[in-house]
Amino acid sequence: MFNVHAFLSYFDNEFLLGGLIWTVLLTIFPMLAGLLLGMVLALARGSDVRPFSAAAAFYIWLFRGTPLIVQLVIIYTGLPQIGLKFGVVTSAFLGLTMNEAAYLSEIIRAGFAAIPSGQRDAAKALGLRPAQTLRLVTLPQAFRIILPPLGNSVNGLLKATAITSVISMEEMMRRGQMLMQVNFDVLEVYCAIAIYYLVLTSLWDAVQRALERRANRGHAAVTGLGPAPVVVDG
């Protein structure tokens, strides 16, 4: 029978809350690092230098074509066999970052491709250097385009952190499993964890909507048009 008292007790359980903090950290930092690496991959993929383009395409093909769980196991247990040994936390951050970068690079590349080429030509005519064009012209416009799918990626990464439990990373799911082994409250723990995930994804949804409204207001102020439609994965 479902134990309501046990279920409620997990909402102030310090051990489980510690796992919740790790879940948040495993979302924020790999996402930020993945964005930087994804930007590099997107630029390399669109480069006219063939070795750069080929290397980026291979990376994206490899990490999008293999399961995250396999990548984590290889990083944690496979790399030590060739002299590269990482701890659990480093392996988790590294695996999530490298996997997320492959997907984010395609989102970023699509955002760049959606910007009319005339924008770059105009920047060139004004004497802007490539780095200035990227920072002042391309990125601000691409950001508004990629924001909805980027927000969905954050949501997906938040839930994907649970996979790191396979290498004994003590995020929320792993700590929940440890509590189950001690207290045998399987359904109660899983229900509490599900609510924690719902709270986190709902908070991010509110942040994403606020960012999209702000980006669209800026777009409307510059173009004189109404806000662009916002697409949010429900």
Domains and CATH numbers, the chain: 4-223 (1.10.3720.10)
Tokens standing for residue 121: 């030509």
Q: What is the pLDDT of residue 225?
A: 43
Q: What is the pLDDT of residue 220?
A: 53
| Position 224 confidence tier, pLDDT thresholds 50, 70, 90 | very low
| Residue whose token pair is 């310090």 | 14
Q: Cα 108 to the chain's mean position, in Å?
A: 13
- Of 164, 151, 53, the C-alpha closest to 109 is 53
The pTM for the full model equals 0.84
Q: What is the pLDDT of residue 146?
A: 85
Instruction: Give the Cα separation of 157 and 153 in Å (integer).
Output: 6
Q: What is the pLDDT of residue 139?
A: 76
| Residue 213 near residue 56 (C-beta atoms within 8 A) | no
| Position 160 confidence tier, pLDDT thresholds 50, 70, 90 | very high
